[in-house]
Structure 1
Amino acid sequence: MKKDFYEILGISKGAAADEIKKAYRKKAIQYHPDKNPGDSTAEENFKLAAEAYEVLSDPDKKARYDQYGHAAFDGAGGFGGGGFGGGHMNMDDIFSQFGDIFGSAFGGGGGFSGGGQRRVKGSNLRIKVKLTLEEIVNGVEKKIKVKRKIQAKGVSYRTCSTCNGSGQVMKIANTILGRMQTAATCTTCGGSGQILDHKPTGADVHGMIMEDDTVSIKIPAGVVDGMQLKVSNKGNEAPGSNSIPGDLIVAIEELEHEFLKREGENLHYDLYISFPEAALGVSKEIEAVGGKVRIKLEEGIQSGKILRLKGKGIPSLNSYGNGDLLVHVNVWTPKTLNKEQKAFFDKMLTDENFIPSPEKSEKSFFEKVKDMFS
């Protein structure tokens, strides 16, 4: 079982953004590879701390984690371990995204490879994927075409002579506290540690070209509108022989169903029946995900009755089974009557069988609403 993100950073669920950042920096410095060479346990804790910080430092991800737990980021097999934006990060991800938080504690050592060159990560791409209710219930694999920047064939880079491949230049400033040394991004190479050596025809000034790519995205059952999934390394590439691609961020848009309304993991269906059907009872076919379902309505069924079909709703992201399909019975009152029909109902106005006489066990409208949401 995955360890709780708050527990990893040693903070409470109500921790503020500054407290989260401070806790992460403390853990990152404690388990930094430069401080624990060859220690696989420290490296694992270093990655876990970064994973926790990536989620808890982002308000949207934090809200999803608080609501769904790890299930908000797991179960999306095929996302390079990523899932919904959390995922088990690699060292390149960590140094690229968070190196500035603790880099000064190690002389700016975050984000560098063994050769002393900085690993630059390409920018992320964002797309929106529209899903039907059926696709959300069953899960689906989508093949999406994206335009992404890649390094042109034949491009080559050389080490930046200004920063010697570090991507940073050191500056000395005299202050009232004495001489202070600070690190700044190298303006010659833009922080990559490399500059273009050979530019193929058609490439831009960084040696990059645009390419159409088809990306396969496995979307698990139970996702919700607005949720974001991450496909690792399918964003734009970055210049440099030692760079890594960005990620593809996939935003989910749920298409409205013609008959079914979603509420969390439950589905709602409005069923309209006539006076005779309500009085005599009837068998009806209703819409459900994956096909029609036949239900039997008892004699004398009342308008406002809610029938619960267990397990006919949306699968839980936490793998706790499916929600339910709630059928709302509405007895339809005709707006116009012919003479014969009017005569019948005039006759029934004083018939005791037509006088409302709810039983004590009959729930009120507000009690039914309360039961529906409980």
Structure 2
Amino acid sequence: MSTKDWIEKDYYKILGVPKDADAATVKKAYRTLARELHPDRNKDDKTAEDRFKDVSEAYSVLSDPEKRKQYDEARTLFGSGMRVPGGSGGSFNFDLGDIFTGTGSGQGGLGDVFGGLFGQRTRSRGTGARRGADVETNVSIEFEEAVDGKTVPLRMTSSSACTSCAGTGARAGTVPRVCPTCTGTGYTSTDSGGFGMAEPCRDCMGRGLVVDDPCPVCSGSGRGTTSKVMNVRIPAGVVDGQRIRLRGKGAPGERGGPAGDLYVTVKVGEHPVFGRKAEHLTVTVPVTFPEVTLGADIKVPTLNGVPVTLKLPPGTPNGRTFRVRGRGATRRDGTRGDLLVTVEVVVPQRVEQPAKEALEAFQSATSGDDIRAELMREASKRG
């Protein structure tokens, strides 16, 4: 298959799997599509035949770890299109076909740009626009807030264009010049054993420009620091340690490039009464021996403070868990999980005389029931 195929074809989309799909998921998707599109089931169907070929081709790449790695690297470097200096606003878009054939710019086609990834030396061409950096922060919320969700204010400090030089890095009244090392692309190529890779130009630090008279405010970097307060919605049902990604809420890009992403790691506090088990809340409720023996209606607390009544059937064993529906954490679809109530028999530390006499009478009345007889029989069989 050609280099062009590796750039233009989205094999993940062809198989209908995410980019982080494991080998088992890729294999399952391929088998499903192969059965559906196989020529024996679609005679004289040219469309199905072409899709079958694409599916087979995609699987041949994604099922091979080495090929998949090379494909992912190729897509990361060049899969989103090229922008080079020279057009309106300092850059213009190439037609991808022209890049491969070399007819669009007279520069020799993508073989100059990409061939080194497959064994040839390359000349790398960078982009004018630069994506902003990703920003990470932490936020702490209470247990109740994690269950129902909360909007929290975050003060974000990030890099932005210097207001003094408007992001050029040059002193007011001067302009930077094109970097002679990378000719303004921001990238150079390295060759290691015949395997060429693009890397940011070291002379201009990937900017494509060299500043001779730097701006005194930003020291020629073209970047400054901004601080702003952002209201971030923490979704209901978030768990401790969960990392939330907010696209485009990170540091702003350079030269019209997109902003980076904001990653918020959530720390959820503990609750003195309730616990979490996925979308369900858990609680342990103390009960007495008569309640579990004879059966009883007991009050159980809920997170919103309104207790519910739980009916214990006679003979309830210690440690049994009951389910109170709809009293748990909020799910993504807006419904709620359940409250899981575990009963725990409490043994009194002191027994007053009337209670002691009643227990002795109970013990005498049930003395004929040997609750350990079965245990002893099973143990003797193993002896």
Please state how far the C-alpha of 1:145 moved relative to its aligned partner.
1.1
1:21 aligns with 2:42: no
Please state how far the C-alpha of 1:333 moved relative to its aligned partner.
Answer: 1.0
CA contact (8 A) 1:278 1:300 kept: yes
Alignment match, 2:124: 108
Using the TM superposition, give the Cα deviation of residue 329 of structure 1 relative to its aligned residue in structure 2, in angstroms. 1.0
Q: 1:304 to 1:9 in 2, by over 3 A?
A: closer
Question: What is residue 236 of structure 1 aligned with on the other side?
Answer: 251
SS of aligned partner of 1:251: strand
TM-score by length of structure 2 reads 0.60
Q: What residue in structure 2 maps to residue 261 of structure 1? A: 275
Partner residue of 1:350? 364
Structure 2 residue 135 is the aligned partner of structure 1 residue 120:
no
Q: Closer, same or farther in 2 for the Cα pair 1:131/1:184, shift >3 Å?
A: closer
Rounded to whole Å, the distance in 2 between the matches of 1:306 and 1:207 is: 62
User: SS at the partner of 1:349?
Assistant: helix
Distance in 2 between the 1:201 and 1:32 partners?
36
User: Percent identity over the alignment?
Assistant: 20
What corresponds to 1:96 in structure 2? none
> After alignment, is 307-316 or 180-189 more displaced?
180-189
Q: Per-residue displacement from partner, 1:283-304 (whole Å, max 9, x unpaired)? A: 4332323333311333635222
After superposition, residues 292-303 of structure 1 pair within 5 angstroms as 292-298=306-312, 300-302=314-316, 303=318
What amino acid sits opposite 2:208 in the alignment?
A: G
2:350 counterpart residue number: 336
Deviation at 1:142, TM superposition (A): 1.7
Gaps of 5+ in 1: 40-99, 359-374
Q: In structure 1, how many angstroms separate the alpha carbons of the residues matched to 2:281 and 2:196?
A: 61
Does residue 148 of the first structure (1) align with residue 174 of the second (2)?
Answer: no
Unaligned runs of 5+ in 2: 1-12, 27-62, 83-92, 98-115, 169-175, 373-383
Query: What amino acid sits opposite 1:231 in the alignment?
Result: L
CA distance in 2, matches of 1:128, 1:108: 38
Which residue of the partner structure matches residue 186 of structure 1?
A: 201
Aligned pairs for 1:201-240 within 5 A: 202-237=217-252, 240=254
Mean CA deviation greater in 141-150 or 286-295: 286-295
8 Å CA contact 1:196–1:207 kept in 2: the answer is: no
Give 1:123-138 correspondences, 5 Å limit. Answer: 123-138=133-148
Match of 1:164 among 183, 198, 202: 183
State the partner residue of 1:246. Answer: 260
Question: 1:7 offset after TM fit, Å?
Answer: 8.3
| 1:309-324 map, 5 Å | 309-317=324-332, 319=333, 321-324=335-338
Choose the corresponding residue for 2:286, options 265, 269, 272: 272
Aligned AA (1:37): D
Q: Is contact 1:160–1:189 with CA below 8 Å preserved after alignment?
A: no
Deviations 1:71-106 (CA, angstroms, capped at 9, x unpaired): xxxxxxxxxxxxxxxxxxxxxxxxxxxxx989x999
Using the alignment, how far apart are the partners of 1:354 and 1:124 within structure 2?
A: 73
- Cα contact 2:130–2:256 (8 A) shared by 1: yes
CA distances 1:8-60 after superposition (whole Å, capped 9, x unpaired): 98964376864542343576799764699389xxxxxxxxxxxxxxxxxxxxx
**Which of 6, 13, 17 is the equivalent residue of 1:5?**
17
Task: Give the SS at the match of 2:284.
Answer: strand
How far apart are 1:328 and its partner, in Å?
Answer: 0.6
**C-alpha distance in 2, partners of 1:354/1:198?**
101
Which letter maps to 1:332? V
For 2:187 and 2:75, the matched residues in 1 are separated by 25
In 2, are the aligned partners of 1:231 and 1:247 still within 8 Å (CA)? yes
Distance verdict in 2 for CA 1:122–1:298, change over 3 Å: closer
Alpha-carbon deviations, 1:119-155, whole Å to 9, x = none? Answer: 2233322111223332222222221112222222122
Deviation at residue 326 of structure 1 after TM alignment: 1.0
State the secondary structure of the residue aligned to 1:342.
helix
Number of matched pairs:
284
Native 8 Å contact 2:186 2:207 kept in 1: yes
Where does residue 3 of structure 2 map in the other structure? Answer: none
Mapped contact 1:311–1:324 kept (Cα < 8 A): yes
Distance 2:73 2:157 in 1: 36
Letter in 2 for 1:125: V
Secondary structure (helix, strand or coil) at the match of 2:337 reads coil
Partners in 2 of 1:8 and 1:338 — Cα distance?
A: 65
What displacement does 1:242 show? 4.2
Name the larger-Rg structure: 2
Q: Is the 8 A contact 1:11 1:23 kept in 2?
A: no
Q: CA deviation at 1:186?
A: 1.9
Spell out, residue by residue over 1:153-204, the C-alpha distance to the aligned partner (whole angstroms, 9 max, x if none).
122413433233210246799x9x8xx9875532221012134577665434
